[in-house]
Structure 1
Amino acid sequence: MVLSVSIALCCAGASPVLVRPLEALFTPRDYPLQALEAKQSGDVAVRLVVGTNGRVTGCTVLRSSGSPTLDSTTCRILFSRARVRPARGDDGAPMTSQHEYVQHWTLPAS
């Protein structure tokens, strides 16, 4: 099974630094069984809000994969696993930031 990921970080001010690449957060075992059985795949575009502590505090689906299961699994994994060194303002203090991310869910070749 291949899970491919692209990342686009965008925010005003200093950019945050990923502690671990977001693509490393997703494994083939994460593909939801319900989506596999229904042969669902697609891209989920989300906007993440990262708090001053580097944890994801918000995840909004900007473009659905067409599968509520894949959409919700994407946010669930990002909430539980993503860690970021937060962006810093001009004063050097950690600040909340927003980032866009696309998760590509691709079914394994039969």
Structure 2
Amino acid sequence: MPNLAHAETVVLEPASPWLMDYAEDSCALRRAFGAEGQEVVIELRQFQPGDGMMFTAYGEPLRTRMRPALFRFEPVGEEQSRENAQLLEVEGFGRGITLDISLHPVADGEAEAEPETVAVRETREAAMTGISISGILREETVFQTGSMAAPVGALRNCMDELLTHWGIDVEAHRSLQRQVEPKDYDGWVHTIVNTGFPRSMIRRGENAIVRVRLIVGTDGRAVSCHIPIAIGHPDFEEAACRTLMDHAKFDPALDANGDPIESYWVTSIAYRTS
């Protein structure tokens, strides 16, 4: 049985070690929590280097509801509120949730400070020993992960290896003067909404969320498009890549010498009929 810290908090202990998923387009840490036969699995998946990742939890014991999600790396992380958290049904595992989170978020209302040193970040990650979720779950649930230092380090190593498979110069990307920056992003959104939404999906009232990765050349144009993950009909995947390949323009990444370098850009597109 889960340990009840108080009437509305469920605390789950690990039921397995962390497992690394070396996927073609992403890296993920996965671990089971809870009593035998009542496990809840959590996953932290990255689609590009950095602090951003997708958190997913699934298992029959979860009691979900349509509410914003409140996420926190305990006890040192900032609370993160996510209005766009999604409910899932995972075949063979039951209900679940998924949301985008950050390993080192900036507190609401605060300007982003100067970049922290690696040592400061690693110290904070070592002090992270749990993950709490509430709002979207009827009971606040705390996953007792233990120190996140080693798991996060393994995730970073996986992402470095993945970049080499994409043809990206990992060492050059450690000292970029500028990352890929989109031009006229608002114009893309207008195009996606008005001309890039599959008409057949509008008639059927279908929605989707599509995560897209573009390889961006030294001239600022998209060289290739990949869909690491999508929730919805496959027509949305084709539409997302077609629209971005036709209309997306960027300022290319610059290496340490200020020269353009081939790089990548990742985004998510939410298709909504209402």
**Shorter-chain TM band:** 0.7 to 0.9
Is 1:65 the counterpart of 2:228? The answer is no
Instruction: Map 1:1-110; keep pairs closer than 5 Å.
Output: 12=173, 13=176, 14-21=178-185, 22-108=188-274
Runs of 5+ in structure 1 lacking a partner?
1-8
Q: Distance in 2 between matches of 1:33 and 1:53?
A: 32
Q: Distance in 1 between matches of 2:243 and 2:269?
A: 11
Q: What is the CA deviation profile of residues 19-66 of structure 1, one whole-angstrom value per residue up to 9, with x for unaligned ones?
A: 211434423343211111222211000111111111111111111132
Structure 1 match to 2:148: none
Q: Distance in 1 between matches of 2:217 and 2:191?
A: 19
TM-score, with length taken from structure 2: 0.34
Structure 1 vs Structure 2 CA RMSD = 2.2
Larger radius of gyration: 2
Given that residues 211 and 229 in structure 2 are in contact (C-alpha distance below 8 angstroms), is that contact kept between their aligned partners in structure 1?
yes
Q: Which amino acid letter does the alignment assign opposite residue 243 of structure 2?
A: I
Q: Distance in 2 between matches of 1:30 and 1:51?
A: 23
Q: Distance in 2 between matches of 1:37 and 1:15?
A: 39
Runs of 5+ in structure 2 lacking a partner?
1-47, 51-172
Q: Distance in 2 between matches of 1:33 and 1:92?
A: 43
| Residue 10 of structure 1, CA deviation | 6.0
Q: Distance in 1 between matches of 2:270 and 2:49?
A: 19
Q: Distance in 1 between matches of 2:49 and 2:245?
A: 18
Q: Distance in 2 between matches of 1:25 and 1:86?
A: 22
Q: 1:10 to 1:16 in 2, by over 3 A?
A: farther
Identity of aligned residues (%): 22
Flag the structure with more relative contact order, 1 or 2, with Cα contacts below 8 A and sequence separation at least 6. Answer: 1
Find the residue that maps to 1:35 and give its secondary structure: helix
Find the residue that maps to 2:205 and give its secondary structure: coil
Q: 1:36 to 1:82 in 2, by over 3 A?
A: same
Q: Which amino acid letter does the alignment assign opposite residue 18 of structure 1?
A: P
Q: Which amino acid letter does the alignment assign opposite residue 36 of structure 1?
A: I
Q: 1:33 to 1:79 in 2, by over 3 A?
A: same
**Equivalent residue pairs, number:** 101
